[in-house]
Amino acid sequence: MSRAWDERGGCISVFSPRPLPVLRGNGRGLRRVTLGSGVGGCGRSAMLAALWAALRVYAVGVAVTMVQLLRRLRGGFRPPELPLQTDRVAIVTGATRGVGLSTACQLARLGMRVIVAGNDEHRGHEVVARIQEESGPESAHFLFLDLASLSSVRSFVRDFEATALPLHLLINNAGVMLDPRGNTKDGFERHVGVNFLGHFLLTSLLLPALRASGHQGRKSRVVTVCSSTHWVGQADVARLLGQSPAPCALAAYAGSKLALALFSLRLQRLLSALGDPVTANIVDPGVVDTALFAHAGWGTRAVQRFLGWLLFKTPDEGAWTSVYAAASPKLEGVGGRYLRDEAEAEVLGAARDLELQGHLWAESCRLTGAAWVAVGE
């Protein structure tokens, strides 16, 4: 019996000595490769690599939950105190569930007009009705956005521009983990396509609106939701973009979060160099009790079900750092920060590597067709 690894990092048992044809993502689409007994990437070495990568991600998760537990035992989490901001418009991706939903609700309570961006139209209109009931008829609107499709990203931006609304805040919140649906419509590995490249193109297309709405003393803001798992992402552009398959799906997820950190820090450098009235920051919500774990292993889901109330943050608690980054006067004009629990935290050193940032940036522009102004090193 031989074994092969599919594009999601799962192990396929093959009860035949014949080579196995597999479709594998290469960053631009799918290519057909033939895997057989003893071929590179298969067998014991591949299994060990996948196990090691998964263990590193789980180790980060355990460490974060222990920190959260200690904080809860010492008095818990408290929401940030923020002023009303009735003249601001925010887009929140993935705002129909989990942390994104809580973020949208909290921004609306501050008086902002929120664009609920998501790929479930029925659910999106339900969320808008809920927010409007609490915060007023003009507090929320739904626009369809499927980050797994670059065409949908472009359509979303056109739909937003048709509203003639200003844009002061972009919250890049949406994400997937261990999603079993395979590659995106554009052929990208799903974690890469949804978590990173979709947001990369979205930010590029919305930057003119953000620039137009910001000014010195009241800048627009881009807030990108990352994760502590970026610490174990592999700092290799081919891996980060799914052109070289990750050893397992958890490694691909961690890589997508490292890519977001690299992107956000590079974006802030670009904005500063051009003197733009826009800032970019990264936020880490922690381990939150949401549907993100729906496709995780039974052990993780069991912990979430029986101990999530103690170890995990609630969606509201997970959203507080995003809301803080979006609305705190203390962060006016401040960019390039990595924030956790409403305070600055350390980002992986590799995320500040200018050469790595530049390489990832250039390749992401090529893959998405995004047009960014270059900044000299």
- 22, β-bridge pairs: 33
Q: Which residue among 58, 253, 324, 338 is the active-site one? A: 253
What long-range pairs does 32-38 form, CB within 8 A, spacing at least 24? 35/2, 35/4, 35/5, 36/2, 37/2, 38/2
Specify the length of the chain in residues.
Answer: 377
Write out the chain in H/E/C secondary structure.
CEEEECCCCCEEEECCCCCEEEEEECCCCEEEEEECCCCCCCHHHHHHHHHHHHHHHHHHHHHHHHHHHHHHHCCCCCCCCCCCCCCCEEEEECCCCHHHHHHHHHHHHCCCEEEEEECCHHHHHHHHHHHHHHHCCCCEEEEECCCCCHHHHHHHHHHHHHCCCCCCEEEECCCCCCCCCCCCCCCCCHHHHHHHHHHHHHHHHHHHHHHHHCECCECEEEEEECCHHHHHCCCCHHHHCCCCCCCCHHHHHHHHHHHHHHHHHHHHHHHHHHCCCEEEEEEECCCECCHHHCCCCHHHHHHHHHHHHHHCECHHHHHHHHHHHHHCHHHCCCCCCEEECCEECCCCHHHHCHHHHHHHHHHHHHHHCCCCCCCCC
Q: Is 58 a catalytic residue?
A: no
Residues with a catalytic annotation lie at: 253
